[in-house]
Amino acid sequence: MNLIRFALRKPISIMVMVLGLLFFGIRSAKDIQVDILPEMNLPVVYIAHSFNGYTPEQMEGYFTKMYVNMMLFTNGIKSIETKNTQGLTLMKVNFYEGTEMGQAIAQLSALSNRSQVFLPPGAPPPFIIRFDASSQPVGQLVFRSPTKTNNQLQDIANFTARPFLIAIPGLTTAPPFGGSPRTIEINVDPTKLRAHNMSPEQIVEAISRQNVTSPAGNIYIDDTNYLTPTNNTLKTVEEFGDIPLFKGQVENVYVRDVATVKDGADITTGYALIDGKRSVYINVAKSGKASTYDVVQNLKKTIPNIQRNLPDDVTISYEFDQSVYVINAVKSLIVEGVLGALLTGLMVLLFLKDTRAAIIVILTIPVSIISGVLFLKLFGQTINIMSLSGLALAIGILVDESTVTIENIHQHFAMRKSKAQAIWDACKEVAFPKLLILLCILAVFAPALMMSGIPGSLFKPLALAIGFSMLVSFLMSQTFVPVMANWMMKNKHQEVDTHKVGAFDRFKVKFLDFLSTLMKGKKWIVSISLVTIVAVVAALYLYIGKDVLPAVNSSQFQVRITAPEGTRIEKTEQKVKGVLKELEHLIGKEKIAISSVYVGQHPSTFAVSPIYLYNAGPHEALMQVALRDFKGSTDELKDKIRMHLKQKMPELRLSFEPIELTDKILSQGANTPVEIRISGMMKKMNMMTAKKLLAKLQELDYLRDQQIPQSMNYPALEINIDRTRAAQLGLDAQDIAKSLVASTASSRYTSKNMWVGGMMGIAYDVQVQMPQHLLNSKDELANIPLSKNAERPVLGDVATITPKKALGESYNLGTMGYTTVTANVHQADLARAQKDIETAIASLGELPKGVNIQLAGLTPVLDETMTGLASGLLIAIVVIFLILSANFQSFRVSLVVLTTVPFVVMGALLLLLLTGSTINLQSYMGIIMSVGVSIANAVLLISNAETLRLQSGNALQAAITAAGVRIRPIIMTTLAMMAGMLPMAIGFGEGGDQVSPLGRAVIGGLFASTFSVLILLPLVFAWIQGKAATQSPSLDPEDEQSIHYNQLSK
């Protein structure tokens, strides 16, 4: 009340406060960072270690298990997941919530350096990166050229374009995708080697001795300090062909005689296809707390400068721009907010029939929202989908504070008071109930600050947005509203307010008559209603589907295409181009805005790249497609693609993966929402169990893409060396291995050699290799020469070559191997899939000894989210109960207020069911919000009813009278809030699908709340408080309201 008095005495100070909030709020709105999701702060670190040529089993044994054993010394590790493919170990280290990640990364770095001692000789250091939202690309910088090769584009992108990106604040990039790094190729001819009785190892040794990287010294002559550079390193590529190879003491043979020298590229392991043509692109990501929107906008400003420094025949463009989604979502929510505010004002105008009053109510909304943005900025938050949802949701709630005040002012005008006195009395009368309402609504969202994990990260910004806006709204209703009411509103000093006479008045009389009739059977009505509603809520909760976030109908999709294991990369590329043609036929070429495909694996030089995009081998490709003006259902389109390609290209295996940034971050690296891990020490036993489970999952008709993605039957030619025979011929395993590496892979894995060339002075690898087209049969492999200066022996003389099936991928949980079964969910909720999967697992019976099954993917996130939200709702109800008990000094009255909760939940769930929405993070928050508003309305009614009961001693009449007094403000505020939520519930524009369940839950909850507060609550109050004492529970003998006061006076 002192706040109201201060406002009325110093109205100019209040205007200064409002203008200050607007000024600094608008400045904050311009400066605050804009992003898709709030900062997740996920405690996850990736370690990528590449060493090409090693098999998955070798990577597991030499790298994975060594790292895992070493990481036992790191604090806070929750689990370690590893994928091993040829030449790559990719480790995902999960830490417990609250772990100091800076210290954890420092420990991992130190221990990885220590691990180098135990790794194979020549192994490079690993790449370590923290996983958060910045680890996910927000777009692609695409390079195209009609004349240059992919490898040339790769070099241009890496060394010409990429340095420009360093200057962009908050931007981080992986190396370019699509080409191989520039390399000096020494392509040996096996026929010429055999003709000169030479082995590939001799070429490697000669180049290592003739192209030497060594420091230049100094010599001091007289007063001058001279450098002494030598030509240890060759100056030109052609000079490599002139390196002499000595055979005996007479005849000289040069490198050019047995090999071709080429300024080329590393062995091709992957291609990037943009719109079906080979190209190169750079994945663009934001780092740390940078704004996605700011990063992308700064990049777009830099592109013209990059273009000027590129060759004329190279063009660049920015594709798959995720910032567009951010801006469209922001615009949609702003439009929804403006529409909501206008509808709210219109509803107030219809009830009060006072334009000036409606204007006052509407003015409080933008001030509160803009002030909310100011405080979000001060507390380090960003504008994102969740905080915007909170601000949009707050619009409906904000009207409650001001509307209650305005409506009460009208009632006091009708008492023929002066305008100033009526405003003072009206504001004073509702000041404490409004404070109580504010505390109840804040209590609803307080548990968000205690939630952890992904639910806490998502819920906190929404709760803060609502909380800040509500605090400012309360302040406005206590200061700005009374001042503006004095300045703008008119008091005609009528005994009966004209807008109360008429239809609403007649409705009120009939309602009170109806309520009086119900009072006769209040006990039965209340008992049956509560039991029925609780049962209905339980049934609805079990029946309605549950997801982490609402499904979004995106205009883009991502699909993993898997050809038969061992398919050559060129053949996989052909199949992918065939898929693109089929998509053009199915969707329409004009409907495809752009397609981006990565075929095969990344070059081993770029160890960090698999963290962003992982393929198991040359038989896999990952395709992204952006659609143009697509209006249909993406899920239906995906199903059509599955069926179409199954008929046209049955040899391919498809699996659709998340492409939206929200889904990628929530899945934390999982490729599908359903992922089941079968772990154990015996890999064959794991696979047998996985196949049985896969057969069970294939029976579920709403699951799609059910498969075991792990490559388990990769074709191999096993080379078994006869060491005794080799020793007799003067060879050992090391000699054979060096010749094999130079022939089947590259000499740079065993003998590092560098060359500096070009105008930019960049160092490139020099490697001896055998062209793949020359080594195209088992016989050619057997004829690889092994000995120096001798025609024999060849590989076939000392080893047998046996075709077999080998492990193409190796997965590990810690040191224990595991196999995965994955699937997508089509037109069903994740909770249903989880339940049916658990049933399928149980139907397997007793698992073999040592075999364990656990659910991964999105299902653990779903469990965490639902548990966290349910706990939050329970905590909120308990906190509200304690607040109400402290206010009313009665536990029974507090319980009366809480009887509205089941009805609210029922209304929200019923509307979710009717609109086909699921229970998810957004809709759950809508339920929590509607519970808070319902309790606020109940407090208004019960506060009045309890005051009247204490005065008259008649609980029944007090309940009816209070319902009559509060019916108009309750209906008016409820309808105004529902009108404010209507645009959000409909889900206009891009991003509307993401927040529409929130609006629907609020509308459904408020609709049911109106009936429960106005009809059931008076019945409950009349029943419970019917025989309650009218004395205060005070124990103070000097308190006149205390039952001990009379005893003392006697």
* 777 within some domain: yes
Residue 742 in contact with residue 203, Cβ under 8 Å? yes
Q: 322, 316, 324, 315: which is closest to 285 by C-alpha?
A: 322
CA torsion through residues 49, 54, 58, 60, sign: positive
CA torsion through residues 441, 444, 449, 450, sign: positive
Q: 240, 236, 233: which is closest to 215 by C-alpha?
A: 233
Side chain identity, residue 817: G
| Cα separation, 752 vs 750, whole angstroms | 7
Q: 1001, 936, 1003: which is closest to 975 by C-alpha?
A: 1003
* 909 within some domain: yes
* 335 and 400 assigned to the same domain: yes
Give the structural domain span for 537: 2-31+326-549+863-1024
Residue that is last in its domain, among 788, 806, 824: 806
* 336 within some domain: yes
CATH number of the domain enclosing 763? 3.30.2090.10
* 68 and 12 assigned to the same domain: no
Question: Measured between alpha carbons, how far apart are the two ends of the chain, in Å?
Answer: 37
Please report, to the nearest 10 degrees, the dihedral formed by the alpha carbons of residues 451, 457, 459, 460 taken in order.
80
Residues 6+ apart with CB under 8 A from 983: 335, 336, 337, 339, 340, 343, 999
* 778 and 918 assigned to the same domain: no
Tokens of 243: 């390196």
Residue that is last in its domain, among 135, 167, 196: 135
Q: How far is CA 325 from the centre of its chain?
A: 14
pLDDT profile of the chain (1050 residues), mean per 10: 83 91 90 81 86 85 88 86 90 87 88 85 83 70 88 87 86 84 86 82 85 83 85 85 72 84 84 88 80 85 91 88 73 71 75 79 85 90 82 75 79 80 84 82 78 77 88 88 86 51 77 88 90 93 88 85 91 93 90 90 81 88 89 88 92 89 73 91 90 93 92 88 86 82 73 75 82 79 77 84 88 90 91 92 89 89 85 84 85 89 93 91 85 85 86 86 85 81 74 79 91 90 81 70 59
DSSP state of 219: E
Residue 467 in contact with residue 928, Cβ under 8 Å? no
Half-sphere exposure (CA, 13 Å, Cβ side) for 511? Answer: 21
* 313 within some domain: no
Predicted local distance difference test score (pLDDT) of residue 1:
60
* 253 within some domain: yes
* 1001 and 893 assigned to the same domain: yes
* 22 and 81 assigned to the same domain: no
Q: 329, 322, 335: which is closest to 293 by C-alpha?
A: 322
* Matching residue, tokens 């060339």: 757
Angle at 476 between CA 472 and CA 478, to 5 degrees: 120
Q: 438, 457, 456: which is closest to 447 by C-alpha?
A: 456
| Cα separation, 265 vs 916, whole angstroms | 54
Tell me if residue 379 falls in helix, strand or coil.
Answer: coil
* 342 and 444 assigned to the same domain: yes
CATH number of the domain enclosing 1006? 1.20.1640.10
State how many domains the chain has.
3
* Matching residue, tokens 């240059």: 148
Predicted local distance difference test score (pLDDT) of residue 502:
65
* 12 and 83 assigned to the same domain: no
Predicted local distance difference test score (pLDDT) of residue 12:
92
* 80 and 48 assigned to the same domain: yes
* 44 and 22 assigned to the same domain: no
Half-sphere exposure (CA, 13 Å, Cβ side) for 850? Answer: 10
Predicted local distance difference test score (pLDDT) of residue 660:
75
* 1039 within some domain: no
Q: The whole model's pTM is what? A: 0.84
* 734 within some domain: yes
* 445 and 395 assigned to the same domain: yes
* 871 and 789 assigned to the same domain: no
Residue that is last in its domain, among 783, 806, 829: 806
* 47 within some domain: yes
* 20 and 44 assigned to the same domain: no
CATH number of the domain enclosing 113? 3.30.70.1430
